[in-house]
């Protein structure tokens, strides 16, 4: 009978504990004691780790947006601040509450230690998420905040985790914990294994052993692993620099390819080319203002729109001004310089002289993380691919269409082309429009890398001419090779000499190169090339 009473009592206690909810347990956070809050956060994480409401509560607590009412201790979060009033909602039901004076609330305060514990708790909660990216970021958070208490949890997750990239981060975290908190043979094996990883955290843990350990064998093993990590990181750093050079080269290619077409065919030194790039960028900005709810598609729509707008502006410039100045390159330089100033002032009048921000679509945001030492931003990856597509498109037009045949004929010998019935003036207008349209497309790409302003084009006009002259006037393949060569050259010099000096070195290099090869890497062929 006595045993029966004990069992019954335990069952009653157990049922009572099951009856306690997250809402009731969370009330312990309202205490002033940080130690009690720390204990509560750990208990909540252990008990409700798979409850989405707990994650939301911790996020609001971490941001300092968690409050409770003085009258009935209801836990709420801030939705909006309106002068001295707060618009709040219940943290659990998310039901909106009436607008109330801020003096009716008290803030749930936390310190730096609690912030660290909350971040660790969020990482644990997110490890059970069905979203791979959330689990991956959670694993990285655990690696960044190494705690031996998490070892059992990480090993448990590793048994069921299917994602390779998540497992790799978790395995690195377990190895780093072994280096930091274990001793003997287990620590030595962990030090050796940690040399295979690349993250800054692994490097930090190993350097701590190297600097603070009195065991010479451990120091030697740590130094070997450090050397291995630094060698691998140097290699990936080289690849990252090469990628940035490639992305810069793709921008130069987009900026210069239109100039290569017009300069090569028409012998026009177009100083307004940069402003045509600017017009393409502003077309992108204007489209986003017109269709604010369709940002994801705005860039795709902006490509043909910018091509048409800049192309039409280019044709208008050619018909109204440039056609009267053929054969006088210095006068075209002065005239187009004046046009560039006019275009800049028009943009300042219409859009204001301030820089405008063009929003980046979600599919172009973020980065492709190859490993802990190498990540490639999506916007630059897309621009590299896009520049190659534009190049192939122009190459196809010039080499595989009747328009391209006429353009090449006029480019090689204008007089003979006219004698064969080709309307050179019509070809000039179309060619200038094509080059201007491509400049507008370049502006769309640049709008994703920098703010759009009236002086946007001025930053690329000199670089565009350098690319065209270096590659060979009128030669598209030369423009491609020159753009990527100068882009890589610039990015590898920058870390050593600085951004400004790097450009000066490149300019000096091109001047010296032109002294030896006045017609560039790939000089144009034909009688007209001798002029």
8 A C-beta contact, residue 281 and residue 444: yes
Give me the number of domains the chain comprises. 3
The answer on 463 and 427 residing in a single domain is yes
Distances (CA, A) of 182 to 143, 174, 218, 219, 383: 16, 11, 12, 15, 48
Domain residues for the domain of 262 are 236-367+374-530
**Residue 299 maps to a domain:** yes
Q: Which residue, of 85, 114, 143, is where some domain finishes? A: 114
Closest to 460 (Cα-Cα) out of 330, 241, 309, 270 = 270
Backbone angles phi, psi at 95, to 5 degrees: -75, 130
The answer on 272 and 159 residing in a single domain is no
The answer on 178 and 261 residing in a single domain is no
Residue 524, pLDDT score:
62
N-terminal to C-terminal alpha carbon distance within the chain: 116
Q: How far apart are CA 37 and CA 29, in angstroms?
A: 5
89 DSSP assignment: E
Q: How far apart are CA 168 and CA 476, in angstroms?
A: 45
Residue 264, pLDDT score:
67
The answer on 174 and 292 residing in a single domain is no
Sheet holding 66-69, edge to edge: 100-101, 85-90, 75-82, 66-69, 105-107
What CATH number should be reported for the domain holding residue 291?
A: 1.10.3470
CA 52 to chain centre: 29
8 A C-beta contact, residue 91 and residue 103: no
Which residues are within 8 A (CB) of 392 and not within 5 positions of it... i.e. 6 or more apart? none
Q: How far apart are CA 245 and CA 513, in angstroms?
A: 21
The answer on 104 and 136 residing in a single domain is no
Q: How far apart are CA 25 and CA 47, in angstroms?
A: 10
| Per-block mean pLDDT, blocks of 10 residues, the chain (531 long) | 45 40 81 86 79 81 85 85 84 84 85 83 77 83 81 82 86 88 86 88 88 85 90 90 90 86 75 90 90 84 92 91 80 88 90 85 83 85 91 88 83 79 83 89 88 84 83 81 88 81 81 77 57 48
8 A C-beta contact, residue 365 and residue 382: no
Q: How far apart are CA 295 and CA 457, in angstroms?
A: 24
Q: How far apart are CA 393 and CA 403, in angstroms?
A: 13
The answer on 318 and 349 residing in a single domain is yes
Q: How far apart are CA 38 and CA 51, in angstroms?
A: 19
Q: C-alpha angle with apex 284: 281 to 287, nearest 5 degrees?
A: 150
Distances (CA, A) of 255 to 97, 186, 329, 456, 463: 54, 57, 21, 12, 8
The answer on 312 and 186 residing in a single domain is no
The answer on 240 and 171 residing in a single domain is no
- DSSP sequence for 125-177: HHTT-S-HHHHHHHHHHHHHT--GGGHHHHHHHHHH---HHHHHHHHHHHHHH
**Residue 231 maps to a domain:** no
Q: Which residue, of 58, 80, 114, is where some domain finishes? A: 114
The answer on 157 and 93 residing in a single domain is no
CA 197 to chain centre: 24
Please tell me the number of Cα atoms within 13 Å of 142 on its side-chain side: 34
Q: Which residue, of 49, 81, 114, is where some domain finishes? A: 114
Which residues are within 8 A (CB) of 176 and not within 5 positions of it... i.e. 6 or more apart? 143, 146, 190, 194, 201, 202, 205
Instruction: For residue 466, give both structure tokens.
Output: 């350098």
The answer on 463 and 338 residing in a single domain is yes
**Residue 119 maps to a domain:** no
**Residue 13 maps to a domain:** no
**Residue 292 maps to a domain:** yes
**Residue 267 maps to a domain:** yes
**Residue 15 maps to a domain:** no
**Residue 122 maps to a domain:** no
The answer on 292 and 387 residing in a single domain is yes
Residue 15, pLDDT score:
37
Instruction: For residue 218, give both structure tokens.
Output: 């451990």
pTM higher than the cut 0.85 = no
Residues in the chain: 531
8 A C-beta contact, residue 160 and residue 134: no
The answer on 293 and 339 residing in a single domain is yes
With helix as H, strand as E and coil as C, how does 286-340 read?
HHHHHCHHHHHHHHHHHHHHHHHHHHHHHHHHHHHCHHHCCCCHHHHHHHHHHHH
């Amino acid at each position: 009978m006595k045993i029966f009473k004990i069992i019954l009592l335990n069952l009653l206690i157990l049922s009572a504990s099951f009856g306690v909810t997250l809402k009731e347990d969370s009330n312990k956070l309202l205490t002033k004691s940080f130690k009690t809050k720390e204990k509560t956060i750990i208990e909540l994480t252990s008990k409700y780790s798979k409850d989405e409401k707990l994650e939301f509560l911790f996020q609001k607590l971490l941001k300092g947006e968690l409050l409770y009412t003085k009258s009935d201790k209801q836990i709420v979060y801030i939705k909006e601040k309106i002068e001295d009033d707060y618009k709040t909602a219940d943290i659990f039901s998310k039901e909106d509450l009436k607008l109330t004076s801020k003096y009716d609330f008290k803030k749930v305060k936390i310190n730096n230690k609690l912030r660290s514990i909350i971040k660790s708790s969020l990482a644990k909660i997110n490890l059970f998420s069905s979203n791979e990216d959330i689990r991956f970021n959670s694993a990285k958070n655990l690696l960044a905040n190494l705690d031996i208490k998490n070892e059992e949890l990480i090993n448990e997750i590793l048994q069921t985790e299917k994602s390779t990239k998540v497992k790799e981060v978790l395995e690195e975290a377990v190895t780093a914990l072994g280096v930091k908190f274990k001793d003997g043979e287990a620590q030595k094996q962990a030090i050796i294994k940690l040399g295979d990883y690349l993250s800054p955290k692994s490097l930090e843990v190993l350097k701590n052993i190297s600097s603070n350990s009195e065991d010479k064998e451990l120091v030697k093993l740590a130094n070997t692993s450090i050397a291995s990590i630094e060698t691998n990181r140097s290699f990936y750093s080289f690849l990252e620099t090469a990628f940035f050079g490639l992305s810069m080269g793709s921008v130069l290619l987009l900026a210069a390819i239109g100039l290569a077409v017009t300069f090569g065919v028409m012998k026009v030194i177009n100083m307004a080319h940069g402003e045509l790039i600017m017009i393409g960028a502003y077309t992108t900005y204007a489209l986003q203002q017109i269709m604010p709810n369709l940002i994801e598609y705005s860039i795709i729509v902006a490509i043909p729109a910018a091509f048409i707008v800049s192309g039409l502006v280019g044709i208008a410039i050619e018909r109204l001004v440039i056609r009267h100045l053929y054969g006088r390159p210095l006068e075209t330089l002065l005239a187009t310089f004046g046009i560039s100033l006019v275009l800049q002032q028009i943009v300042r009048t219409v859009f204001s002289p301030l820089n405008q921000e063009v929003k980046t679509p979600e599919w172009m945001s973020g980065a492709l993380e190859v490993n802990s030492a190498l990540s490639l931003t999506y916007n630059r990856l897309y621009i590299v691919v896009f520049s190659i597509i534009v190049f192939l498109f122009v190459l196809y037009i010039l080499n595989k269409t009747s328009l391209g045949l006429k353009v090449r004929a006029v480019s090689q010998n204008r007089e003979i082309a006219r004698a064969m019935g080709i309307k050179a003036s019509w070809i000039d207008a179309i060619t200038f429009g094509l080059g201007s349209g491509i400049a507008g497309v370049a502006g769309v790409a640049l709008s994703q890398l920098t703010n759009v302003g009236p002086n946007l084009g001025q930053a690329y006009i000199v670089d565009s001419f350098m690319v065209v002259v270096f590659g060979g006037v009128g030669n598209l393949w030369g423009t491609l090779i020159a753009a990527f060569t100068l882009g890589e050259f610039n990015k590898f010099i920058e870390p050593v000499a600085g951004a400004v000096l790097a450009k000066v070195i490149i300019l000096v290099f091109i001047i010296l190169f032109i002294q030896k090869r006045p017609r560039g890497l790939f000089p144009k062929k034909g009688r007209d090339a001798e002029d």
